[in-house]
């Protein structure tokens, strides 16, 4: 029998190593944007329109070791909890992303991180286009390879055929392969071992670490969540929480 644990582990760690080796400059640019924003005590919004891309916005929100300034845009439309097929239909619906951005009242001076495995769906592209119209600074996290390799007439695409990486102010390429899955099991109809959740989480948490370093270097006291299940967690969080409860929509 094949050791699929090792096979999958090697495939995932190889992908993350490639991100690490090739995206240092991109992460640094994005970290500078976040550090400027947080040093000014402004929120960083994050939206992951797409079934599993929503996990990315949750990965860095209210997270032990995460920045308190992160505000997740948890719109019900593309959450899998509202129905998987419904989620896919909504992420392909033109103008939906515009409505979400408007609903969170973003505008000049705001920063929005947009995360999507493939970087092409209508909700994502409309969110990016609307954010740009409103003067929002945008950071994209998606696979350039996947977007560039997806046919212009693919049903998931926005009517403009735009790719996320062409619309944002800074972009981190997650290198996710076409189809997401990394492992071929002989005799199976499809590949398995998806990669985008690992790639998104690694890229985002790396970005958080780089941002924290820049803030510390500036002498900024960085509000970071401590697990409420850890000793002193409630007390540590309580030092800052009043600064965010009325500002972060889903806190």
Give 46's strand partners.
72, 113
How far the first Cα of the chain sits from its last, in Å, is 47
pTM of the model: 0.96
Helix 24-39 and helix 196-217: axis angle, to 10°? 50
Q: How open is the CA angle 7-192-8, to the nearest 5 degrees?
A: 20
Which helix (DSSP H) or strand (DSSP E) does residue 168 occupy?
Answer: none
Residue 51 has a pLDDT of: 87
Residue 116's pLDDT band, with cuts at 50, 70 and 90, is: very high
What is the spatial distance between Cα 55 and Cα 92, in angstroms, rounded to a whole number?
18
Would you say 190 and 39 are in contact if contact means Cβ atoms under 8 Å apart? no
Is-contact 33 137, C-beta < 8 A? yes
Pick from 160-164, 170-174, 180-184 the range whose average pLDDT is largest: 170-174
CB 140 within 8 A of CB 172: yes
Would the pLDDT of 156 be above 90? no
DSSP at 71: E
């Amino acid at each position: 029998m094949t050791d699929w644990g090792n096979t999958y582990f090697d495939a995932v760690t190889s992908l993350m190593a490639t991100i690490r080796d090739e995206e240092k400059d991109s992460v640094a640019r994005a970290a500078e944007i976040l550090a400027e924003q947080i040093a000014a005590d402004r929120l960083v919004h994050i939206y992951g329109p797409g079934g599993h891309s929503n996990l990315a916005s949750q990965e860095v929100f209210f997270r032990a070791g995460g920045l308190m300034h992160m505000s997740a845009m948890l719109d019900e439309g593309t959450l899998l909890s509202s129905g998987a097929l419904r989620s896919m239909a909504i992420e392909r619906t033109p103008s939906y992303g515009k409505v979400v951005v408007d609903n969170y009242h973003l505008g000049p001076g705001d920063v929005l991180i947009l995360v999507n495995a493939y970087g092409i769906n209508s909700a994502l592209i409309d969110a990016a286009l609307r954010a740009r119209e409103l003067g929002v600074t945008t950071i994209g996290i998606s696979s350039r390879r996947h977007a560039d390799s997806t046919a212009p007439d693919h049903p998931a695409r926005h009517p403009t055929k735009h790719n996320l990486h062409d619309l944002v102010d800074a972009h981190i390429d997650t290198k996710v392969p076409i189809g997401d899955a990394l492992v071929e099991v002989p005799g199976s109809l499809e590949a398995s071992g998806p990669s985008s959740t690992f790639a998104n989480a690694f890229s985002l948490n790396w970005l958080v670490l780089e941002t924290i370093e820049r803030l510390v270097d500036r002498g900024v006291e960085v509000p970071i969540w401590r697990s409420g299940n850890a000793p002193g967690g409630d007390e540590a969080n309580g030092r800052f929480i009043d600064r965010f409860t009325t500002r972060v929509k889903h806190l």
